[in-house]
């Protein structure tokens, strides 16, 4: 997915301009890169974590197990 497509989706869902969404996306990417360059991991809650190192490394969060909500098993 390209940056422009991500920004357009953010703009639609947040009801802001595409330019404002693209600026915010740039800020998020910059913060991730800044953390990685300083040797700290960068977490994206609900998605995963970028970890610093010689090569790009990204770990997805394990899927959450859904709790039984009182439904009878068949």
- Report the chain's C-alpha Rg in angstroms: 17
Q: Is 3 a member of any domain?
A: yes
Cα–Cα dist 59/44, whole Å = 10
Q: What is the pLDDT of residues 44-67, one digit of tens each?
A: 888 888 888 877 677 777 777 666
Q: For the whole model, what pTM was predicted?
A: 0.69
Range of the domain at 11: 1-39
Q: What is the pLDDT of residues 2-55, one digit of tens each?
A: 999 999 999 999 999 999 999 999 999 999 989 988 989 999 888 888 888 877
Cα–Cα dist 41/35, whole Å = 6
Q: What number of CA atoms fall less than 13 Å from residue 42's CA on the CB side?
A: 18
How many domains, in total, are found in the chain? 1
Displacement of CA 9 from its chain's centroid (Å): 14
């Amino acid at each position: 997915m390209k940056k422009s497509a991500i920004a357009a989706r953010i703009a639609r869902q947040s009801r802001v301009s595409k330019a404002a969404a693209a600026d915010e996306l740039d800020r998020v990417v910059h913060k991730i890169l800044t953390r990685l360059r300083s040797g700290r991991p960068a977490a994206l809650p609900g998605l995963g974590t970028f970890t610093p190192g010689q090569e790009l490394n990204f770990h997805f969060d394990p899927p959450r197990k859904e709790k039984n909500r009182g439904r009878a098993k068949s």
